[in-house]
Structure 1
Amino acid sequence: MSQLMLCSLGNSSNAGNDTNNNANTNSSMEDDDSYPLPTIYRCRAPIASLDCMEEFNSGGGGGGGDGLGNCGAVAGTKEQLLTNCIAAQAHRLQHPSPGIRYRNLGKSGLRVSNVGLGTWTTFGGVGGSGNEETAEAVIALAYDSGVNVFDLSEAHSGHRAETQLGRILSRRAWNRTTYVVTTKIYWNSKTEGRGLSRKHIIESVQASLLRLQLSYIDIVMIHKVDPMCPMEEIVRAMNYVISKGWVMYWGTSRWSPVEIMEAYTNCRQFNCVTPIVEQAEYHLFYREKPELYMPELYNKIGVGLMAWSTVTIGMVSSRTEDCGMSFLSRSSYKNKYSSFSWTEDETQSLYKEEYGWKDKLVDEEARKYSDKFREVSALADRMGCSFGQLAIAWSLKNESVQCLLLGAANIDQLYESLQGLQLIPKLNASMMSEIERILDNKPSRPPMVSTLALR
């Protein structure tokens, strides 16, 4: 009873409405006009509602308060703010979302939302404006919607993304226990800090802490393996930053199953903390590693899967006519386990330098899959959604995906992506079979060959 009274008091603008009883995800939310405080609602995991995004009791002292961030409006007065927020509420109540689930990441005790915000687009990547006010509105909408994972990288707009997110988190002053920040230690031949030495790892973590203005980072991921650095040095360095309290967990990004198993073996040998997550590409046209090998790694050594795709992070348009070439051609050229790199330096030069002589083959691959794109898009139209929303729901149907990263340059894109969650119950066995028939690319392991037969 005290919780219901507190929720009613916290929503002064809706004081005349009925008190919001405990929500049930299977019931309709169209008649529910009350909006409980996010901090109260988030305690009611594993379901969080998208309808608890606007607050009118946050003071409204300045033009860029919580209400502005949640509604995406740049209003100069409280009257303008109230008008924009009411309009946004009226629109969203017509299209309620079923909510967000929380899952353990890998076999750790860390609970994460099944969708996270990949901030590359938000902080000025492909299609992003780089405007901090817009980025704050997107992050506020994600947080108030129940998303608790914010993913960063040294490669995502460089150090600027960490600096901006640090300022936003400082201004918002959210409870540190309610969100998870992940960042990456990026390595390639062009970076100034070459390799994954102990020196580079420790310096990168310390620098990220300063930029983020945080006392610790929840997860630090190693982006790609340095073949010139011993695995023992990498795992000992990660164990050191965890033992110092600078990092809570560590994981990997774009590692092969063999490399992940090698890291795990070294951790066990030297009594170091083991990785809990691998961040990998997963979508309708790239399925082998996430579907065949990641479940095995989860069951054997407890490594979970944080997935992303070129559509969900906003790297290409969700419209079929725009994304067919870029989405498919990027998925066509990758080795067996590691996927297309989504970092800025490589996305700009990959085809120009490495695959320039394969332009004809790229065109053939795009034409080969264009029919499948059209059929999947037609199926999405029949379901009343976009191709991107269907791709999000389809990815989350895989129980191995504990967190799917979404990207958004503005609040409209994020809201549209979050609405894709309501498609998950609609993807029943017959619908999934129809998608499999269209794709015709379900991965399978090669048959076992007896060593006796090879003699």
Structure 2
Amino acid sequence: MEFRHLGRSGMLISEISYGNWITHGSQVEEEQATACVRAALDLGITTFDTADVYAGTRAEEVLGRALAGQRRESLEIFTKAYWPTGNGRNDRGLSRKHIMESINGSLRRLQTDYVDLYQAHRYDYATPLEETMEAFADIVHSGKAHYIGVSEWKASQIREAHALARELKIQLVSSQPQYSMLWRVIESEVVPTCEELGIGQIVWSPMAQGVLTGKYLPGQPAPAGSRATDEKSGAAMIARFMEDDVLTRVQQLKPLAEQAGLTMAQLAIAWVLQNPNVSSAIVGATRPEQLEDNVKAAGVKLDADLLKAIDEALDPIVERDPAKTESPLQRP
């Protein structure tokens, strides 16, 4: 495993991080989920990303139990708040009330006294940013989190939050956006802003919900049991990539991966790690052997000719519009 600094912070995180968005507590049984966490640890992954909303808070519980007994100082545990975690009017958003209640709930479920990174899961238009950042500052100053980050925020929002964080003497060090060969909406605005401010990207869905593994073929039904066939596994999110023109072009990556001595999944993960502003790529797994394949992308350098060939194959279907980075205008 290779390690990178998270932005310009002093904290090192594994290039491949383990996320449990749609696996723990919903898609797979706990025994299997625990086996995946143990495999991640054995393979050198030290960075684990979750959120209070995943599987209705159950994902944090499963991760907490799976990591129990590990040396806490050797791990980097990340979680997030924003999406609803209950039926109450204040069980959502980034108000001081919800943030303070959310961090306490997350720490209890994760069985830890602190998280290394606490993230705003989306931007909350209903709460003044000053209120949100002051709550985050109190959490950091109380020792319940070391750093703060955001997820799916626009460049202008990140810049404003970073300025407030400096005033409050806390470190906003990360952005967690979707990023892959097919989804490059952060490249024109978010990445340059973050490079300037010393913020690193922890990217999710580097394999475009599995499309970049090449297992989905144009003109053919999705394989049984795959994410595209399971609503609990994010079928709605993968739908945007399930068009025949996209799948046809993705198949053109197979010979490129073979020439590089990589699997399609490894090529996809290695590709996002070529961006120097990316600190880590989040992968999930339902089986330990998936992680064994994925971690081989760490430390891989793709040459300029290969990167050019990837661009030529995918260019007509790549999404680059920065407006696609957006949060709900109203709390869900």
Report the TM-score, using the length of structure 2 for normalisation: 0.83
- Counterpart of 1:300? 196
Following TM superposition, by how much is the alpha carbon of 1:221 offset from its aligned partner in structure 2, in angstroms? 0.6
Identity across matched positions, percent: 31
Residues 299 and 417 of structure 1: CA distance in aligned 2, closer, same or farther (over 3 Å): closer
Matched, 1:388 2:265: yes
- Counterpart of 1:409? 286
Q: What SS class does the counterpart of residue 268 from structure 2 fall into?
A: helix
Matched, 1:108 2:9: yes
Residues 255 and 196 of structure 1: CA distance in aligned 2, closer, same or farther (over 3 Å): same
Please list, as runs of the form range in 1=range in 2, the aligned pairs for 1:83-162 lying within 5 A after superposition: 100-125=1-26, 128-129=27-28, 131-162=29-60
Larger Rg, first or second structure (1 or 2): 1
Q: What is the aligned length? A: 311
Q: What SS class does the counterpart of residue 177 from structure 2 fall into?
A: strand
Q: What SS class does the counterpart of residue 172 from structure 2 fall into?
A: coil
Gaps of 5+ in 1: 1-99, 328-343, 352-358, 447-455
CA RMSD of aligned residues (A): 3.2
Question: What one-letter code is carried by the residue in structure 2 that aligns with 1:321?
Answer: Y
Matched, 1:175 2:71: yes
Following TM superposition, by how much is the alpha carbon of 1:145 offset from its aligned partner in structure 2, in angstroms? 1.6
Matched, 1:218 2:116: yes
Report the TM-score, using the length of structure 1 for normalisation: 0.62
Question: What one-letter code is carried by the residue in structure 1 that aligns with 2:184?
Answer: R
> Runs of 4+ in structure 1 displaced over 4 angstroms?
188-191, 314-317, 322-327, 344-351, 441-446
Question: What one-letter code is carried by the residue in structure 2 that aligns with 1:276?
Answer: V
Cα separation, 2, equivalents of 1:276 and 1:395: 19
- Counterpart of 1:397? 274
Whether the 8 Å contact between 1:107 and 1:298 is mirrored in structure 2 is no
Gaps of 5+ in 2: 223-230, 323-332
Residues 230 and 184 of structure 1: CA distance in aligned 2, closer, same or farther (over 3 Å): same
Residue 207 of structure 2, aligned match among 287, 311, 316: 311
Residue 277 of structure 1, aligned match among 174, 184, 203: 174
Question: What one-letter code is carried by the residue in structure 2 that aligns with 1:143?
Answer: L
Cα separation, 2, equivalents of 1:264 and 1:350: 29
Structure number with higher relative contact order (C-alpha < 8 Å, ≥ 6 residues apart): 2
Following TM superposition, by how much is the alpha carbon of 1:322 offset from its aligned partner in structure 2, in angstroms? 5.1
Cα separation, 2, equivalents of 1:428 and 1:322: 27
- Counterpart of 1:374? 251
Cα separation, 1, equivalents of 2:277 and 2:99: 29
- Counterpart of 1:420? 297
Q: What SS class does the counterpart of residue 321 from structure 1 fall into?
A: coil
Question: What one-letter code is carried by the residue in structure 2 that aligns with 1:293?
Answer: E
Question: What one-letter code is carried by the residue in structure 1 that aligns with 2:192?
Answer: E
Please list, as runs of the form range in 1=range in 2, the aligned pairs for 1:320-339 lying within 5 A after superposition: 320-321=215-216
Question: What one-letter code is carried by the residue in structure 2 that aligns with 1:296?
Answer: P
Q: 247-256 or 139-148: which moved more? A: 139-148
Whether the 8 Å contact between 1:324 and 1:366 is mirrored in structure 2 is no
- Counterpart of 1:75? none
Q: What SS class does the counterpart of residue 245 from structure 2 fall into?
A: helix
Following TM superposition, by how much is the alpha carbon of 1:370 offset from its aligned partner in structure 2, in angstroms? 3.4
| CA-to-aligned-CA distance 1:266-292 (integer Å, 9 cap, x gap) | 334x43414110001111111131x23
Question: What one-letter code is carried by the residue in structure 1 that aligns with 2:315?
Answer: D
Residues 147 and 107 of structure 1: CA distance in aligned 2, closer, same or farther (over 3 Å): same
Following TM superposition, by how much is the alpha carbon of 1:379 offset from its aligned partner in structure 2, in angstroms? 2.2
Cα separation, 1, equivalents of 2:303 and 2:235: 39
Cα separation, 2, equivalents of 1:325 and 1:265: 50
